Amino acid sequence: MPNRTPFYSFHQEHHAKLVDYAGWEMPLHYGSIIDEHHNVRTGAGIFDVSHMGRVKFSGRHARRFIEHVFTRRVTDMKAKSCRYGFVCNEAGGVLDDVIVYRFDDHFLMVCNAANREKLLAHFQSLVGEMSVKIEDQTESTGMVALQGPRVMEMIGKFSSEVPTLKRYAFTTKNLLILKLVISRTGYTGEDGVEVILPAKMTGMAIKLLLRDSGDLQVKPAGLGCRDSLRLEAGMPLYGHELTESIDPISAGLNFGVTLDKDKTEEGQPEIPRFIGQDALEKIAAEGPTRKLVGLKLEGRRTPRQHMNVMHGDQAVGEVTSGCLSPTLGYPIAMAYVDNAQAAVGTNLTIDFGKQTVAAEIVPLPFYKHS
């Protein structure tokens, strides 16, 4: 039986279509994926993301441990800041893409639900003699994402500080008896926040948020529109654009890798090389053989993962994700394509089996909020 998040009763009350996702019973939609998508683009949507893993690292060697497993430098992070990056294997393939939060005395890593158990086992195998405590806080906490251009209007009713947060910063707030961690992060291409809170208090929190939202059109949104929103925003999904055999350089996510992170000036703390650093340095120096590109398709057919991308009669790539974009009104896809055919403006086709559909490489992201 799938796990249930602390918001399960909320999903039932709002007539969610529930599906098994990475071992969790999650809302696919609350009536219409398209309506929920448009509401996030124009108003504000509230997502249950409690299935995401939340792992705390504390102890004398917590910083050093994170430096060893995470592709970005954390030593220079200020408290109440976040960084997006990767946990890689020795070959540079991605075990998961994660966000690391730095607190005064510990770190928190938010990871994908499907990879939580894998990462926990991986981390425990690396502890050795280091003094680091690893705590899985996934089931003792809940997590909700508020996304959309009107989110800050709603948040401003509870806090004057949160709307002033920079991207990838967070704060801790007390709301009545609730202790919240609120970060200016998200996975939709819109402005917004993600909130971590005690699992037992989630019902109270979501009722307060919706009760005081007024005319701001804050509505629940499910996994269906979360996928179409992130795809329009050109954001990767683990198992599609990222896998253990795909590296972040090929995915065009170089910003999430600090290849010189172990180079420090005199007097600064020593930083170990991260797992996969040797391989990623080589890939960066030689250049990847394939690139992740955006595709705009003709017609209305929706491309699916693993469909071949063709140049003439030659397969030159593979679709990783696709949808009929609710915002743009035409089919879009992301795909890995051989370097020789990966330039913006290149005309290709997608193999649908009995027919092919014309596609053009376009810049990513497909959509960017104003």
Q: Are residues 156 and 216 in the same domain?
A: yes
- Give residue 56's pLDDT: 99
Q: Are residues 82 and 201 in the same domain?
A: no
Asked whether residue 191 is assigned to any structural domain, the reply reads: yes
Q: Are residues 182 and 325 in the same domain?
A: no
Asked whether residue 348 is assigned to any structural domain, the reply reads: yes
Using CA atoms, how far apart are residues 252 and 73, in angstroms rounded to an integer? 19
Using CA atoms, how far apart are residues 322 and 319, in angstroms rounded to an integer? 7
Asked whether residue 122 is assigned to any structural domain, the reply reads: no
Q: For residue 138, give the 3-state DSSP assignment.
A: coil
286: left (phi over 0), alpha (psi -120 to 50) or beta: alpha
Q: Are residues 216 and 142 in the same domain?
A: yes
Instruction: List pLDDT tens digits, range 227-264.
Output: 999 999 999 999 999 999 999 999 999 999 999 988 87
Give pTM, 2 decimals.
0.96
Asked whether residue 230 is assigned to any structural domain, the reply reads: no
Using CA atoms, how far apart are residues 94 and 243, in angstroms rounded to an integer? 5
Residue 114 has pLDDT above 80, yes or no: yes
Using CA atoms, how far apart are residues 187 and 38, in angstroms rounded to an integer? 15
- Give residue 97's pLDDT: 99
Helix axes 116-126, 62-69, angle to 10 degrees: 120
Which region among 174-188, 304-318, 322-336 has the lowest average model confidence (pLDDT)? 174-188
Number of domains in the chain: 3
- Give residue 203's pLDDT: 82
Give the domain extent around 32. Answer: 3-50+138-221
Q: Are residues 38 and 186 in the same domain?
A: yes
Is the peptide bond preceding residue 365 cis, with omega within 30 degrees of 0? yes
Instruction: List pLDDT tens digits, range 135-172.
Output: 999 999 999 999 999 999 988 888 899 999 999 999 99
Asked whether residue 125 is assigned to any structural domain, the reply reads: no
- Give residue 267's pLDDT: 66
Residue 8 belongs to domain with CATH number: 3.30.1360.120
